[in-house]
Amino acid sequence: MDRNEDLSPRLQTVASLIPCCETVADVGSDHGKLGVFCLRENVCKKVIATDIHELPAMRTKERMIEENFEKSSEVLVTDGLKGVPLSSDMTAVIAGMGGLEICKILSAALHFEKPVPKGMSFVIQPQRSFYEVRDFLSKNGFSIQDEKISLERGHFYVVIFAVYNGVAYDLSGEELFLGPLILKNRPQYYEEYIAHEEKLMKKRALGEEKCAELLKNWEKYL
């Protein structure tokens, strides 16, 4: 995937984690930029874009028409993945929103009449609450298989690739805070990200014991 001129650095990182698949479901579709990219680059055959608000959904639909992707796209005004026909050959992208909202969307999808099937993949980019997102993923059977860091306008963004298999597992405190695959693979921007997280952790350590405990062994992340 190389024609990324329409994507910000954050969305480029999101796009880099989307595997080739039958359908991409883009939740909160940001005017259709990512969906257009996926269709243009043959990442998928179809895009289903959703937005809870009618105006952004309309803009996404207009963008798809402009790019001649009207027949290979569908735009829904809906909450999260509600009304989306979930399948194992689909990748759902949930990016650019709070981590707790992402957990809410995933939790709802697990309880649909036709819930998340095994093998369905997810690309998740929370703006905050990374600990809570990873905790939810691990406890609800979403296997974290990759994580990347993006840097845009001085802000770090973490993007998670996970596949649902229904098997719960445990993550350590450091994995919940910093990411199991970030710690293992040390991707681009790792050192800068760890330095940034250390500053935040020192502030949180004043009121949170688990953060203070993590700081005691911080040198091993450097």
In this prediction, residues 54-80 reach a mean pLDDT of 96
Which domain covers residue 63, as residue numbers? Answer: 9-170
Residue 1 in any domain: the answer is no
Residue 215 in any domain: the answer is no
How far CA 23 is from CA of 47, 112, 121, 147, 157, in Å, comes to 6, 19, 11, 21, 25
Q: How open is the CA angle 96-157-92, to the nearest 5 degrees?
A: 45
Percent of the chain scored above 90 by pLDDT? 86
Lowest mean pLDDT segment, chosen from 35-49, 90-104, 145-159, 197-211: 197-211
Residue 134 in any domain: the answer is yes
| Amino acid symbol at 118 | K
Q: What is the pLDDT of residue 1?
A: 40
How far CA 118 is from CA of 87, 153, 163, 166, in Å, comes to 8, 37, 8, 7
Residue 221 in any domain: the answer is no
With a cut of 70, say whether residue 121 has pLDDT above it.
yes
| Amino acid symbol at 131 | Y
The 3-state secondary structure of 94-121 reads EEEECHHHHHHHHHHHHCCCCCCCCCCE
**Number of domains into which the chain is organized:** 1
Model pTM score: 0.94
Residue 42 in any domain: the answer is yes
Residue length, the chain? 222
Tokens of 213: 């405990």
With a cut of 90, say whether residue 125 has pLDDT above it.
yes
In this prediction, residues 190-214 reach a mean pLDDT of 88
State the CATH number of the domain containing residue 64. 3.40.50.150
With a cut of 90, say whether residue 209 has pLDDT above it.
no
Residue 184 in any domain: the answer is no
User: Over the chain, what is the mean pLDDT?
Assistant: 94
Tokens of 164: 């649902």
Residue 77 in any domain: the answer is yes
With a cut of 90, say whether residue 217 has pLDDT above it.
no
Cα separation, 115 vs 75, whole angstroms: 20
Residue 58 in any domain: the answer is yes
Count of helices and strands (H, E) across the chain: 9, 7
State the Rg of the chain over Cα.
18
Q: What is the pLDDT of residue 4?
A: 54
How far CA 127 is from CA of 20, 29, 118, in Å, comes to 25, 15, 26
